[in-house]
Structure 1
């Protein structure tokens, strides 16, 4: 399970933001990963999967192209409760391939769906430039592409876009309220982090119960913790202010993770467009 909230505003006032993203990564604690960093070759910012045969896959990342003056963001969300096939391509390379491609988003999406089979996924992306901002939602369950232009407040999770989980709907409203009421960047970041750490159950949720009948109660909160073996292990907050200052903030469990003594590491990567 993962969850992502996005606010876009192509014409912010002083003190407002062009882009705000708050996202949780949920994964098995034993799966090795690397804390967010800037790749010196690709300039991609984000953490990396270190699982054998899936090295350098990504769940979330962004890339700033200073020459073209474009920020590109991508986030991968699995679709809960769908059949899994071990003999298909790894989904972890979808995000870095998207961030590196020279193709337009639509062309990349079309080629991705034609190129091979993957287990069920949702891909959320943002294209931000000096003129406009566009958010895309791509899924192979079923195949579809949705486009959201201009000022938007959006939430995405581990289900089809037309059947959002209750925690996605509820979280989106809280996300919007935090943005409207926060009076400083630090207040905003702290409030978003508190939202990402919320253990409140969002029930009832018939869609989640249908997709995960054995674990829907544990999965109904934004922050997930299941038997000290699986749960939320990374919080990511991305801010792009009116003056194009970019901050990628990450709180992540130090790997290897000891469920009896979890250590959180905080990092902040700054750039500009």
Structure 2
């Protein structure tokens, strides 16, 4: 994914409430969230180029999401970041105890893993960093966790307002926030070494450029046993593609 806001152990209704957008090149093939035939404990969308996922859930076991860390001139690495959520859900107990060298073959990433009673943030952007997350509201894009990037703050505020309103049968306010193309003023945008024009193009929650943009908007609502619902809205070249995909988790 490329922008996420989530509430971890923050409300009586949900153990985890997460919203986010996956941005990707339009030409890169992927399929919508479903239970995987080769790993039936996993429910996730799937990147058909490398076989991994950006957001994955395993009922009773956990959930995981990954974003890339924006770098001016990306360096090639042999392993796909999309394999990280799969690795975590295969063996949640051992994943985060592995040595930092296990992550050196991935390009810089932010990873969030949710297991019963614990949420952990992991990044290899500079050196491997892992920390347990406190209950509450968090946000993440292509910088560090809770960095004040305008688009991730917008999603955090929208999620907070939705939880406070208590109308949990209506997720359209969340999709409206995910679909926002509002970009902050230049002075508020991050400087990630790609130039101000590109920062502007990537500065809103919903991205639309000729070759790259938001492909999937996701809403994940789970109880403390990691059962609930995943609702996806697909897009192609900035236009909504098909009806919503709603997958029951449990």
TM-score, with structure 2 as normaliser: 0.88
1:217 aligns with 2:177: no
Larger Rg: 1
1:119 aligns with 2:110: no
Counterparts of residues 84-233 of structure 1 (less than 5 Å): 84-101=74-91, 103-107=93-97, 110-111=98-99, 113-114=101-102, 116-127=104-115, 129=116, 132=117, 134-142=118-126, 143-149=128-134, 151-161=135-145, 163-183=147-167, 185-187=168-170, 189-205=171-187, 208-213=190-195, 214-227=197-210, 229-233=211-215
> In proportion to residue count, which structure has more strand?
1
- Cα gap change, 1:162 to 1:33, in 2 (>3 Å): closer
Gapped regions of structure 1 (runs ≥ 5): 65-69
Residue in 2 aligned with 1:269? 247
Residue in 2 aligned with 1:3? 3
- Cα gap change, 1:174 to 1:41, in 2 (>3 Å): same
The number of residues matched between the two structures is 247
2: CA distance, partners of 1:58 / 1:119: 15
1:30 aligns with 2:8: no
Residue in 2 aligned with 1:57? 52
Secondary structure of the 1:209 match is coil
**RMSD between superposed Cα atoms in Å:** 2.5
TM-score, with structure 1 as normaliser: 0.81
Of the three residues 218, 224, 229, the one matched with 1:236 is: 218
Residue in 2 aligned with 1:67? none
Checking the alignment, whether the CA contact within 8 Å between 2:3 and 2:141 is kept in structure 1 is yes
Checking the alignment, whether the CA contact within 8 Å between 1:113 and 1:140 is kept in structure 2 is no
Secondary structure of the 1:239 match is strand
